[in-house]
Structure 1
Amino acid sequence: MSVEAAYATCAEITRREARNFSYGIRLLPPVKRQAMCAIYALARRIDDIGDGTMPTDQKLLALSATSESLQDLIRDGVSAAQDDPVLVALADAAARLPIALEAFDELIEGCRADVEGRQYESFEQLVHYCRCVAGSIGRLSLGVYGPAEPERARPLADALGVALQLTNILRDLREDRQVGRVYLPREDLDRFGCTLELDSEGNLADPPERFAALVRFEAARAKAWYADGLTLLPLLDHRSAACTAAMAGIYRQLLDRIAVDPEVVRGQRLSLPTSSKLRVALRAIVRGRA
């Protein structure tokens, strides 16, 4: 398989599946855009294993096989990719840019936690999970962006990943609960007297005032992580900053809507209209050029 065809496959996966991230990725120059699409495509594959319909033992085997393929890729480069377009593209991207491919192992660790139905007693435990599944993507992205101060940028990218994942968790409370997943810490559920149980129609059944207090409490935490993580932007070149600002801006708008009206996530999966996403991307371009 040619490298060009491999990148085209990753770009199509990103266009089709990355409903929010694609708005930022489009703002990057070609080489960086191709690399980000390759990163997204493998991350999507890992997520799809965790969210798929295979039995638990088969999911865990598939995750282990993916980890082994990744180790082969790190050791042998494109020769280990064979005819897998995602791995071919990723190997080429890693040969061009200093992408820390080992961070994918953290993503796989987080996906294993999902498959095993792990729940979290404390916020500190939840933050570790967020660092695995989203902070890892931030660290992978830094290899593409090439910040001037990598050591300073790394914890900020990690913090932004935590903020994005906390937003995902709040957005998907009902959807996750329907498949038996509860991410919010037990200590927080107990504090606000919530269970995240479902009613007969499959909606979250906690009393409105308790539910709103819980969601707003977690949203405030996420906002603090955004405040820290977004200080990454000045360390990036203008197009990388625009990409990051667009992706983060879409999720931050989702978070703001949830915080204003927690009831919006009780019975549905919240999303922004395309027009709102485009406005966020446009603002990110202007900000990146400032």
Structure 2
Amino acid sequence: MLSVEEAYNHCEKIIAHHSKTFYKAFSMLEEDDFKAVWAIYAFCRTADDIVDEGKNPEAELTLFNQEFELFLRGEYNPENPMWTALNDVFSRYPMDEMAFRDLLKGQEMDLSINRYKSLHDLLEYCYRVASTVGLMLLPILAPKKVNILREGAIALGLGMQLTNILRDIGEDLERDRIYLPEDIMKRNGLTEGMLLIGESTSDAFRNTWEQLADFAEEFYQKTFQTIDEYPNQSRFAVKGAALLYREILPTIRAKQYKVFHEKHYVKEEAKQAILTST
């Protein structure tokens, strides 16, 4: 039978492979806490992979939803490392079940929506796929301050997801997805056709990109307003993750906004400098 330790090791491999930024930042937590973060990341990653890589994503996501509801009733496959690790997390922390459900609703949006008319619509999506993760983590990172930190956690998710969108424009186009809001694009004279040919040098593209980057920066700043409410180790982890993610924006600027054919990352030495300064 699969042990809890083996289950957590499996989850660690997932986060270490797919998100070096989160892995590095949250490894600063106490052991029990960073293991819980690994399990939650594995859950989120599984849902994300179903939507992006599943052979029949609608059916697979429906099944995953059903598996989660069964899991909440204590019914799950004990040989599945993600559910085994997550069961241990739910037994040790007062987890927010609705945050998990809302994340799955956000994943469902990616199956039916590939364009967003307004920033308001986009932020609803960002809340569901990213802010919910912050709400999942709060009972682990700051169990006594969940209510105080809720809005900051939501803001951090919004800032990070907008950053993802600005980084992954080319990758999303390959999946026929455009997350840049139509109203902001229109206001700046940016057309879908310009995106499809990889137009990154025009004022229309750069102004649209920068407008969304400004919104992302506002959300990061809102997060930092309450960051001191976190316990020490959690504060270092959350602040580190926020700063590392925010650094993606100037990294893209330095590369002349070339987001259509390459994916930009913060260099390892820059990451280390940021984490040392938190």
User: In the alignment, is the contact (CA less than 8 A) between 1:23 and 1:278 conserved in 2?
Assistant: no
User: In the alignment, is the contact (CA less than 8 A) between 2:162 and 2:216 conserved in 1?
Assistant: yes
DSSP 3-state at the match of 1:73: helix
DSSP 3-state at the match of 2:123: helix
Structure 2 CA distance, aligned partners of 1:207 and 1:273? 24
- 2:209 counterpart letter in structure 1: V
DSSP 3-state at the match of 2:263: coil
Structure 1 CA distance, aligned partners of 2:76 and 2:5? 17
Q: How many residues align?
A: 277
- 2:73 counterpart letter in structure 1: R
- 1:169 counterpart letter in structure 2: I
Written as runs of structure 1 = structure 2, the 5 A alignment for 1:38-49 is 38-49=39-50
Cα deviation, residue 198, structure 1: 6.1
- 1:274 counterpart letter in structure 2: E
Structure 1 CA distance, aligned partners of 2:265 and 2:156? 20
Cα deviation, residue 225, structure 1: 0.9
* Residue equivalent to 1:70: 68
Cα deviation, residue 135, structure 1: 0.3
User: In the alignment, is the contact (CA less than 8 A) between 2:200 and 2:206 conserved in 1?
Assistant: no
* Residue equivalent to 1:287: none
User: In the alignment, is the contact (CA less than 8 A) between 2:200 and 2:257 conserved in 1?
Assistant: no
Correspondence for 1:227 among 206, 217, 221:
221
Structure 2 CA distance, aligned partners of 1:52 and 1:197? 26
User: In the alignment, is the contact (CA less than 8 A) between 2:39 and 2:89 conserved in 1?
Assistant: yes
2:139 is the counterpart of 1:139: no
Kindly tell me: are residues 203 and 143 of structure 1, through their superposed partners in 2, closer, same or farther at Cα, counting changes over 3 Å? farther
In structure 1, the gaps of 5 or more residues are 285-290
* Residue equivalent to 2:57: 59
Taking only aligned residues, the RMSD between alpha carbons, in angstroms, comes to: 1.8
- 2:249 counterpart letter in structure 1: L
- 1:21 counterpart letter in structure 2: F
Cα deviation, residue 132, structure 1: 0.2
Correspondence for 2:163 among 163, 167, 171:
167
Cα deviation, residue 120, structure 1: 1.1
Structure 2 CA distance, aligned partners of 1:274 and 1:196? 34
The Cα offsets for residues 53-111 of structure 1, whole Å up to 9 and x where unpaired, read as 51xxx2011111111111112222xx524211100000101100112133122111111
The Cα offsets for residues 206-246 of structure 1, whole Å up to 9 and x where unpaired, read as 65111111111111111111111222311111111111111
- 2:182 counterpart letter in structure 1: R
Correspondence for 1:157 among 148, 153, 158:
153
* Residue equivalent to 1:91: 87
Cα deviation, residue 19, structure 1: 2.2
* Residue equivalent to 2:31: 30
DSSP 3-state at the match of 1:181: coil
TM-score, normalised to structure 2, is 0.93
User: In the alignment, is the contact (CA less than 8 A) between 2:170 and 2:260 conserved in 1?
Assistant: yes
Written as runs of structure 1 = structure 2, the 5 A alignment for 1:112-261 is 112-197=108-193, 204-205=198-199, 208-259=202-253
Cα deviation, residue 264, structure 1: 3.1
* Residue equivalent to 1:111: 107
Cα deviation, residue 118, structure 1: 3.2
Structure 2 CA distance, aligned partners of 1:191 and 1:122? 11
Task: Decide which moves more: 227-236 or 157-166.
Answer: 227-236
2:5 is the counterpart of 1:9: no
| Structure 1 stretches of at least 4 aligned residues deviating more than 4 Å after TM superposition | 259-262
User: In the alignment, is the contact (CA less than 8 A) between 2:114 and 2:176 conserved in 1?
Assistant: no
